[in-house]
Amino acid sequence: MAIQWFPGHMNKARNEIKEIMPQMDVIIEVLDARIPYSSENPMISELRGDKPVIKILNKADLADPKLTTQWMSYLEQESGVKSLALDTNKANEVKRITDLCKKLVPLKVGNDKQIKAMIMGIPNVGKSTLINTLAGRIVAKTGNEPAVTKAQQRIKIDEGIMLYDTPGMLWPKVENENSGFRLAATGAIKDTAHDYEEVASYTAEYLLLAYPELLTKRYKIENLPENDWEFVEMAGKKRGCIRSGNQVDTHKMSEILINELRDGIIGRVTMETPVMRDEEEVMVAELRAKKEAQLEAKAQEKLARRSRARKNRR
């Protein structure tokens, strides 16, 4: 599923971020611990340069703890990157961010100095809740839907840190089809931007392979099918999602599956692994190269047609 979703306020935010980035001392990027790869905005790497980055694996209480540990080690292989796994409902854990900021920028600590930290992240990743906890007061609007924050703001917090908040920002086009499905499944993209049944089909296929025991326990299906759509129908029957003609209401069951995934009712699930990231990065690069070659071939053919047309007119 290719996603193209770049509202005007996000484009404006990107330009503002680019303008003030040179003034920042440290970047705090908030990721969804269930999809650390898909929720990582490639534009941030492009804009930050060599500035230190703290990658927060937020909503860690919803993610697979073993995979969260793997992801933290994987992310820290990149120069200048430190990672933290957080459950934002635990304020004492969130305060670890300020300590890490001071460690990364020691020259800006004390003597009335101030660390400038920009906090960034895709929509609905829990960034505003995190900011409110850091500030110890309500300074950022929160909501259980993407794109709540619309404008940049500065928030003075304890420990001599000025926090620069930015709107949740998606990149212009999600090239990786798998990432598009994962972003939709976890709620980073508005529900009106995707088809519930397609997303549920993708999600069921992954869960059947990675977390069959969680599906068995939650939906009371002892002999799980191999096919994702068979699972949706079986689970729909178990849940009484039946419409006229004794047909399974697959749309209703799809909504149930996605909402129970988002709320952690199915269990602690991580939708991707570091190995998957490496494989998909190769796939995306190959697809990009193929598209570029096709565009170049079309451009050359167009030039050739024009050349032939000019010769025929002589």
150 found inside a domain: yes
Q: Does one domain contain both 116 and 258?
A: no
Q: Does one domain contain both 73 and 124?
A: yes
180 found inside a domain: no
Q: Does one domain contain both 43 and 66?
A: yes
Q: Does one domain contain both 164 and 58?
A: yes
* CA distances to 96, 180, 213, 253, 266 from 90, in Å: 11, 30, 29, 33, 22
Question: Would you say 298 is a known binding-site residue?
Answer: no
Average pLDDT per consecutive 10 residues, the chain (314 residues; last block may be shorter): 50 75 92 95 81 95 97 95 86 83 89 88 85 82 48 76 78 77 89 82 97 97 94 96 92 96 97 96 86 82 78 71
Q: Does one domain contain both 168 and 205?
A: no
Question: What CATH number did the domain enclosing 154 receive?
Answer: 3.40.50.300
Question: Would you say 129 is a known binding-site residue?
Answer: yes
Question: Would you say 102 is a known binding-site residue?
Answer: no
Tell me if 122 sits within 8 A of 36, measured CB to CB.
no
Residues spanned by the domain of 117: 3-173
179 found inside a domain: no
Q: Does one domain contain both 123 and 48?
A: yes
Q: Which of 237, 235, 275, 240 is nearest to 258 (CA)?
A: 235
Q: Does one domain contain both 89 and 140?
A: yes
pLDDT value for 294? 83
> How would you class 16 by CB atoms within 10 Å of its CB: exposed for 0-12, middle for 13-18, buried for 19 or more?
middle
Q: What is the Cα–Cα distance from 11 to 40, expressed in whole angstroms? A: 17
User: DSSP class of residue 88?
Assistant: T
pLDDT value for 288? 79
Q: Which of 144, 184, 2, 141 is nearest to 59 (CA)?
A: 144
67 found inside a domain: yes
pLDDT value for 33? 97
pLDDT value for 284? 85
Question: Would you say 112 is a known binding-site residue?
Answer: no
* CA distances to 205, 291, 309 from 62, in Å: 19, 37, 62
Question: Would you say 58 is a known binding-site residue?
Answer: yes
Token pair belonging to 309: 């047309």
Helix and strand element counts for the chain (H, E): 12, 10
How far out from the chain centre does Cα 115 lie?
A: 26
Gyration radius of the chain's alpha carbons: 23
Question: Would you say 195 is a known binding-site residue?
Answer: no
99 found inside a domain: yes
212 found inside a domain: yes
- pTM score, two decimals? 0.84
190 found inside a domain: no
CA dihedral 144, 165, 30, 161 (to 10 degrees): -130
Q: Does one domain contain both 161 and 282?
A: no
187 found inside a domain: no
pLDDT value for 304? 76
Question: Would you say 127 is a known binding-site residue?
Answer: yes
Token pair belonging to 28: 């705090």
Q: Does one domain contain both 150 and 91?
A: yes
Tell me if 8 sits within 8 A of 151, measured CB to CB.
no
Question: What CATH number did the domain enclosing 243 receive?
Answer: 1.10.1580.10
Question: Would you say 124 is a known binding-site residue?
Answer: yes
